[in-house]
Amino acid sequence: METDKIWMNGELVASADAKVHVLSHALHYGSGVFEGIRAYATDRGPAVFRLMDHLRRLERSSEVYFMQLPYSTEELRQATHEVIAANGLETCYVRPLAFRGHGEMGINPLKCPIEVVIAVWPWGAYLGEEALESGVRVMTSSWRRIGPNTLPATAKASGQYLNSQLAKMEAMHSGYDEAILLNEQGYLADGSGENVFMVQDGVLSTPPTTASCLPGITRDTVNRIARGMGYEVREVDIVRSDLYHADEVFFTGTAAEITPIRSIDDHEIGAGPITKRIQTEFFAITKGLSDLSPEFLDYPAQTAAKA
Ligand code: PPE
């Protein structure tokens, strides 16, 4: 999975040299914010999917934690294209990470420098190639999703993924592919690294962001695709048994793309036709094969104004 070069604090460095001090604040206290982005091969070369939307979310995440990013979104956009090209990749995952480096130890993060890296690597289907077709087996985690007054779920911060890791490990140990988490009120929030949609009688439902789910960019893309196809999409609170009764349930996420959920807590659902239709359109858009939303694809030669 490792590639040659990583963009680190303004320059491309050999992957083996992209190192941090063991007293980096982020290593001890989880003080980082990050993004997950994908680039897809198109006729015009690698296109980064909704790059500026991801970088704007990175900026919003950093703002929550008073991390002043030393680079503008336009600089990070160019750096992303640079590191993809430097590694000769057409299709890849892109991981920008801004974190508190080595300054002073102690919880107060404000004296630590902000470091920024962008790494890229080839990353196939997140939950397995087979999962994109037939779906995954999911369990409801016994861990609750972090609440808005614990850690804001809308900021994509490194530390909050300890919550996701607890749920993911529980799912692995219990023989499932993935976990979904309910919030403190008992309503559906997120998967460990995905948003969740359900389909009932041709209507799509997904939790509102007030339910502590990440405002996913794939979630937004699916909203647009589904509405464009004439489906109603609702943001409503969902309880776990709503999912058991659903006609279809699926995950959305940059890494997971659109993955059907085949069963939840051993209630069989199966991969359904509406999920498939949306997934097909999603992949067409990402690969530049659809007339819909060409503005979602960011190419290296584009000007800032067009991005
Ligand atoms: N919820 C969570 C908790 C989450 O981590 C992600 C992305 C999403 C929803 C979907 O958001 P979006 O990618 O904008 O559609 N999870 C990232 C990290 C996965 C990982 O294992 O690392 C991702 O998909 O890149």
Amino acid 2: pLDDT: 75
Ligand 1 atom 19, closest CA:
193
Centre of ligand 1 from the C-alpha of residue 283, in Å = 17
* 109 Cβ inside 6 Å of ligand 1: no
What are 26's two structure tokens? Answer: 């982020």
Taking the CA of residue 35 as reference, the ligand 1 atom at the shortest distance is 25
What are 152's two structure tokens? Answer: 């804001």
Contacts of 61 (CB under 8 A, 6+ apart): 33, 34, 155, 156, 157
Contacts of 296 (CB under 8 A, 6+ apart): 49, 50, 221, 285, 286
Q: Which residues pair with 99 in a beta bridge?
A: 32, 115
Centre of ligand 1 from the C-alpha of residue 230, in Å = 26
Taking the CA of residue 164 as reference, the ligand 1 atom at the shortest distance is 3
Please state the pTM of the whole predicted model: 0.96
Ligand 1 atom 3, closest CA:
193
3-state secondary structure the chain: CCCCEEEECCEEEEHHHCCCCCCCHHHHHCCEEECCEEEEEECCEEEEECHHHHHHHHHHHHHHCCCCCCCCHHHHHHHHHHHHHHCCCCCEEEEEEEEECCCCCCCCCCCCCEEEEEEEECCCCCCCHHHHHHCEEEEEEEEECCCCCCCCCCCCEHHHHHHHHHHHHHHHHCCCCEEEEECCCCCEEEECCCEEEEEECCEEEECCHHHCCCCCHHHHHHHHHHHHCCCEEEECCCCHHHHHHCCEEEEEECCCEEEEEEEECCEECCCCHHHHHHHHHHHHHHCCCCCCCHHHEECCCCCCCCC
Q: How far apart are CA 257 and CA 196, in angstroms?
A: 11
Cα dist from 44 to 32, 51, 91, 289, whole Å: 34, 16, 12, 11
* 207 Cβ inside 6 Å of ligand 1: no
Amino acid 230: pLDDT: 98
Q: How far apart are CA 70 and CA 81, in angstroms?
A: 18
* 146 Cβ inside 6 Å of ligand 1: no
Taking the CA of residue 95 as reference, the ligand 1 atom at the shortest distance is 25
- Which amino acid appears at position 22 of this protein? V
What are 30's two structure tokens? Answer: 């989880």
Per-residue pLDDT of the chain (307 residues; tens, 9 = 90+): 678 999 999 999 999 999 999 999 999 999 999 999 999 999 999 999 999 999 999 999 999 999 999 999 999 999 999 999 999 999 999 999 999 999 999 999 999 999 999 999 999 999 999 999 999 999 999 999 999 999 999 899 999 999 999 999 999 999 999 999 999 999 999 999 999 999 999 999 999 999 999 999 999 999 999 999 999 999 999 999 999 999 999 999 999 999 999 999 999 999 999 999 999 999 999 999 999 889 999 999 654 444 4
* 169 Cβ inside 6 Å of ligand 1: no
* 214 Cβ inside 6 Å of ligand 1: yes
Centre of ligand 1 from the C-alpha of residue 213, in Å = 10
CATH number of the domain at 5-121, out of 1.10.3720.10, 3.30.470.10, 1.10.275.10, 3.40.120.10?
Answer: 3.30.470.10
Centre of ligand 1 from the C-alpha of residue 96, in Å = 13
Catalytic residue set: 156
Centre of ligand 1 from the C-alpha of residue 257, in Å = 9
Select from 178, 188, 195, 222 the residue to mutate for testing ligand 1; criterion: most ligand atoms less than 8 Å from CB.
195
CATH number of the domain at 129-286, out of 1.10.357.10, 3.20.10.10, 2.130.10.10, 3.40.50.150?
Answer: 3.20.10.10
Handedness of CA 298, 57, 181, 26 (dihedral sign): positive
Domain residues of the chain, as ranges? 5-121, 129-286
* 193 Cβ inside 6 Å of ligand 1: yes
Q: What angle do CA 169, 171, 177 make, to 5 degrees?
A: 115
Ligand 1 atom 5, closest CA:
193
What are 288's two structure tokens? Answer: 């530049």
What is the Cα 35 distance to its own chain's centre? 7
Contacts of 306 (CB under 8 A, 6+ apart): none
Amino acid 307: pLDDT: 42
What are 194's two structure tokens? Answer: 């995905």
Taking the CA of residue 38 as reference, the ligand 1 atom at the shortest distance is 25
Ligand 1 atom 11, closest CA:
216
CA neighbours closer than 13 Å in the CB half-sphere of residue 214: 30
* 190 Cβ inside 6 Å of ligand 1: yes
